[in-house]
Structure 1
Amino acid sequence: MSEATASPGLPSRLLADPEMVSACAARDFAQIFQLAKRRGGFHPSRIARACELTPSRVGEVMRGKPKITTMDVIERIADGLRIPGHMLGLADRSWERPAVPEQRQPTAVARPVQEDRPVAAGASGDLDEILAVAAGTRVTPTMLRSLQASIEDYWRHDDEHGGEALRPAVIGQLKYVKGILRDTADPAFRHSLHGIAAELARLTGWTYFDARQHSAARGYFTESLRLAREIDDRPFIANVLACLSLQATYQDKAEDAVTLARAAQDSARLDGGTPRLLAMLYMREAFGHASAHDQAATYEAIGEAQHHFGRIAPSDDDPAWLQYFDHTKLTVDTGIALGQLGDATAAEPLIAEALRAEPTANLRGRAFHTFWLARTQLQGLKVELACTTAGQALDLAAIVESPRVVAHLREFRRSLKPYRHTPAAMELVSRITELGS
C-alpha cells in the first residue's frame, strides 16, 4: 500500500502494543517515532508530513534531541498519527468522537463510464468542486508546509534587503490565509492556519515598523495578537508583545516598553517559558529601562537575560521564530543597552565582538549594529574611528532598504556637530546628507 493511500494513522495493533502504550504515557517521542517506523511503516518523511514537522526535526527527535514538550506540537503528533488523546495525557481529539452516520445515495444502478468526454459541470456538486479547486482553498499538509516555507523566505529577504518591497506579497498572503480560515472546518488545520496568519500579521507589522509607520505597525501587531489568542499560543503572544515593546522604545515611550516586556514575560510563563524566550524578553525590558536611563533596572534586566540564557539546554523545544536569539544576539543587545546608558567602555567591545560573529548576509542587522558601534566609539571620543565605522554602516544602508537605519544615521549626523570641522566628520556628514536626499 502506498503512502498516498495508506491509513491516516498508526495501526490499531501498534497502538495497543505495551511498548507503544508505555512510550506514549512517558511522552517519549523518540521511542514513539522509532516504533512508528519499525512496526508501523511510517518513515521519517511520512511522520513529518502527518505531524506538520520538518524531516530534519523528526530525525533529531528520533536521535533523542531535542525533546518535544510544547503542547501545540504534541497535539499535532496526536492528530497526525491518530494517537488517542488519553494515551498522551490529552483530552479526546475531535476525530475520536463518533461520527454522524452518513446518508448515502442509493447505488443499486451503476452508471457506465463514458471515456473521452468532458465532465458536465451542471450539477451543483461538480460546480462547487471546480470552484473550490480554482480558489485553491483545499487545505493539505503540503499547503501548510509551503506557507511556512514562504514565511521563512520573507524573513530572510527582510534581513537581507528590508521589508518595503515584500510587504504587498505578505499582506496578500495574509488575506489569502484568512480567507481559507473562513472556509475550513478541520480543527487541526484551523490551528495551524491561525498560527500562520498570526506570523504573517506580525511580519507585516514589522515591515511597517521598519518603515517607521508606527500606527500601521501597531494595527498589524494587534491583529497578530488576536490571531494567536484564538489558539492560545502563549509563547507567540509573548513574541508579539516583545515587538510592541521594541516599537515603544523607538517611540521614546520607555514606560510602555517596560510594561509590554513584562506582560510578554507573564504570557511566556503561563506556557512554561523556555529559557531562550525569557532571555529575549528580559533584553526587551532592558532596552526600555536603558531608554529611560534607569541604570540599576537596566543592569538587573540584563542580569536576568544572561541568567536565563545560561539555562538553555539542547533539549529545549524552542519555536523556529526564536532561533535567531543566540549568543551573538545576546551579546550585541547587551552592548546596545549599555550604549544607551552611555557606558561606552563596556558597550564597544561587546558590539564589536558580535559584529565579528554575525552572519554577513544579515545586512540590515549589520547596518544597525555597525551604527551602534560607531555611536559608542563617538561616546568614547574616538571621532575619526567612529566616522570610519559609521561610513561602513552607510555603505550597508545603501544596499538594504530600511528607514530605521537611515534615521539612525541622521541621528549620528546630529551627534557630529561638535566635531563638524574635522575632515572625517565633514566627509561623513556630506555622505549622510546625500543618502537622505
Structure 2
Amino acid sequence: MDDLPPSPAQVPPRLLHDPAFVQATRDRDFTALFAMAHSNGVSYYRISEASGIKPQRVSMIARGEATVTTLDTIERVADALRIPGALLGLAARPWEHSSPMPHPESPDDGDDPMNRRQLLRGALAAGLTGPALTALTDTRQSLDLALAADTAPADLSDLEAAAETYGYGYHGQAPTRVLADLAGDFAELRPLLGTPQPVATRIRVCRTAGQMAGMVAIVLHDLGARKDARAWFATATTAASESGDDQLLAWVLAREAMVPLNYGAPQAASVLAEQARQAAGNRPTAAATLAAAVAARAYALSHQPEQARQALAAAEAFMERLDAGARADTWLTHGEQKHHVHLSHALTALGDTRRARESQDRALELSAPTSTMTRSLLTIDAAACVHHDGDTEEACRRTVAVLDGLPEAYRAGLVHRRALDLYRSIPAQRHREGAVRELGDVLAA
C-alpha cells in the first residue's frame, strides 16, 4: 500500500509514549486526548480539518461537553491524530502498514513551533502561492477558534457569581466558615487554568481567581494569619496581572497594603498603597478610592501627617464622584460605610478626634448589626480617641468591654492587634493603673 500523506493533526511522536496519553487512548477519553494534543501544539482547527468533525464540536469534546461514541468517528480521530489502532482498541489502521511506531526521541512533526515556523517561511519564500496561503489561513483559523467567545466552560459563570456573593462579606458567619467555602470554590478554578481555554475565557478565569484569592487573603488577614495572607495576595496579584484588569490589580495591592498596615509596618504599607494608586490611575474608581484611603492610614501611622492629609483629600474627592455601582457595600467595591471605617482609623492616628468621631458614628450607623468585626474596630478607634483626649482609663474600659463581648472566632487577629496598638500607646508608667492593667491582662490572655 502506498504511503498516506501525513495528517495535519498528527500528534508529536513523543506523546504516543506519554503514560497519561496512552491511558486516555485506552479509556477512549477524547476530552483528555484533544486537550493534550492541543497543549502539544495541535490546533483544534487542524483536528477538525483532519477528522471531519465540526470545529465547534471539537472544542466541545475538548471541554467535556460532548463525547465520541460511534466507531466511525473513533476511527476518524485515530487517523487524524495518527494514533495506532491498538491503543484505541481498533484494528491496525491502513497507514500503520507503512508507518512504523515512532520512537519517543524522534523529531517532532510540523506542529512543533520551530518546524511550523520553518515550513511557513519556506512556503512564503515562493510567494503568495496556494500552499503559502493555506498555511497562513491555518494559522489564522487556529487562533480564531481559540478566541471564540462561546467556548467558555458552563461552570465559570457559577464561579463568577460565587465570587460576587463572597464579596458581600461575612454576614454574621464565622470567618473560618467563609474561608472554607471560599477556598473550596477557588480550588474549582484550577482545572479551568490547567486546560486550553479561549483568550476571553482565560481572562475571565484569571479575573475570578484574582478576586477569590484576594478575598481568601482578606479573611486570613482578619484572622491574624499574616504570612498566609501575604502568600494569597501574591497569588491574587499574579492572577490580576494576567487578567489585564488594572482596577483589580489596584484593589489587590491596596488590600495587601492593609496587612503591614494593621500589623505594625506602616511604611511598607505606604509603598504598596502607592503602587495601588499608580495602577488605579486618576479616574474615580472604587480601587482608586480605596488605595488613597489606605495610603492615608499608612502615612498617618508613619507620622507623615502632610502626606496623610493629601491622601485623605484624594480619597474624599474620589468618593464624591463614585457611581452607584462602585459605592455598593462589598469587599470588591468601596461603599460609604467602608470609606468611613478607613477615615476613622486615619483621623484617629492623626489625632483629629472630632472628625474621627464623625466618621465612626457614620460608619456605625451604616454597619449591619451582624458586622461584628467592623463594629468592634470602630469602637476601639473611638476608645483611642478618648485616650487621646485624656481619659485613658475610660478608653481601656471600653476596649476591654469589646474584647469580652466578642465570640472566640473574632478575639484574635485584627481586633486584638488594634486593641494592642491602643495599649502600647499608653505610657509604660501607667500600665499598673487598674483599667490599664486589666486591658493588658485581657490582651495577654
Determine which of 375, 381, 392 is the counterpart of 1:366.
375
Q: Which residue of 2 aligns with 1:346?
A: 355
**Residue 352 to residue 377, structure 1, CA distance change in 2 (3 Å):** farther
Deviations 1:62-102 (A, max 9, x none): xxxxxxxxxxxxxxxxxxxxxxxxxxxxxxxxxxx999657
Deviations 1:227-280 (A, max 9, x none): 1111211000001110222223234333332222122122112xx733443222
Deviations 1:291-348 (A, max 9, x none): 111111111111111112122244x778995665222322232221121123334323
In 2, the alpha carbon distance for the partners of 1:305 and 1:255 equals: 19
Structure 2 residue matching 1:164: 3-state secondary structure:
helix
Query: Does 2:319 correspond to 1:309?
Result: yes
* 1:345/1:380 contact within 8 Å kept: no
Amino acid at match of 1:227: A
Structure 2 residue matching 1:273: 3-state secondary structure:
coil
Structure 2 residue matching 1:381: 3-state secondary structure:
coil
**Unaligned 5+ residue runs, structure 2?**
1-44, 54-66, 75-149
Deviation at 1:206, TM superposition (A): 2.1
Determine which of 183, 189, 198 is the counterpart of 1:171.
183
Deviation at 1:282, TM superposition (A): 0.8
Determine which of 299, 302, 305 is the counterpart of 1:289.
299
* 1:274/1:317 contact within 8 Å kept: no
Amino acid at match of 2:276: A
* 1:174-213 matches, cutoff 5 A: 174-213=186-225
Amino acid at match of 1:375: A
Structure 1 residue matching 2:189: 3-state secondary structure:
helix
Q: Which residue of 2 aligns with 1:378?
A: 387
Deviation at 1:184, TM superposition (A): 4.1
Deviations 1:148-196 (A, max 9, x none): 3433444546463453344344334323212222124233332221111
* 1:367/1:396 contact within 8 Å kept: no
**Residue 343 to residue 353, structure 1, CA distance change in 2 (3 Å):** same
Determine which of 416, 423, 430 is the counterpart of 1:406.
416
In 2, the alpha carbon distance for the partners of 1:360 and 1:295 equals: 33
In 2, the alpha carbon distance for the partners of 1:258 and 1:376 equals: 23
* 1:364/1:400 contact within 8 Å kept: no
* 1:20-169 matches, cutoff 5 A: 101=49, 103-104=51-52, 143-156=155-168, 158=170, 160-169=172-181
Deviations 1:184-232 (A, max 9, x none): 4233332221111111211222233223333322222111111111121
Identify the range of structure 1 (282-291 vs 174-183) with the bigger mean alpha-carbon deviation. 174-183
Determine which of 263, 270, 276 is the counterpart of 1:264.
276
In 2, the alpha carbon distance for the partners of 1:395 and 1:335 equals: 22
* 1:194/1:231 contact within 8 Å kept: yes
Q: Which residue of 2 aligns with 1:336?
A: 345
In 1, the alpha carbon distance for the partners of 2:167 and 2:429 equals: 39
Structure 2 residue matching 1:160: 3-state secondary structure:
coil
Q: Which residue of 2 aligns with 1:135?
A: none
Amino acid at match of 2:322: I
Q: Which residue of 1 aligns with 2:94?
A: none
Deviation at 1:395, TM superposition (A): 4.6
Query: Does 2:254 correspond to 1:245?
Result: no
In 2, the alpha carbon distance for the partners of 1:323 and 1:209 equals: 16
In 2, the alpha carbon distance for the partners of 1:273 and 1:371 equals: 33
Q: Which residue of 2 aligns with 1:32?
A: none
In 2, the alpha carbon distance for the partners of 1:317 and 1:295 equals: 28
Q: Which residue of 1 aligns with 2:128?
A: none
**Residue 422 to residue 278, structure 1, CA distance change in 2 (3 Å):** same
**Residue 331 to residue 149, structure 1, CA distance change in 2 (3 Å):** same
* 1:241/1:263 contact within 8 Å kept: yes
**Residue 98 to residue 283, structure 1, CA distance change in 2 (3 Å):** farther
In 2, the alpha carbon distance for the partners of 1:210 and 1:413 equals: 20
TM-score, scaled to structure 2 = 0.60
In 2, the alpha carbon distance for the partners of 1:256 and 1:423 equals: 36
Structure 2 residue matching 1:244: 3-state secondary structure:
helix
* 1:246/1:257 contact within 8 Å kept: yes
Query: Does 2:174 correspond to 1:226?
Result: no
* 1:235/1:273 contact within 8 Å kept: no
**Unaligned 5+ residue runs, structure 1?**
1-96, 106-118, 126-137
In 2, the alpha carbon distance for the partners of 1:212 and 1:322 equals: 18
Question: What is the Cα-based RMSD across aligned positions, in Å?
Answer: 3.7
In 2, the alpha carbon distance for the partners of 1:383 and 1:243 equals: 31
TM-score, scaled to structure 1 = 0.61
Deviations 1:344-385 (A, max 9, x none): 343233213321332222211111111111111122123454
* 1:181/1:190 contact within 8 Å kept: yes
Deviation at 1:403, TM superposition (A): 1.6
* 2:344/2:357 contact within 8 Å kept: yes
Count of matched residue pairs: 311
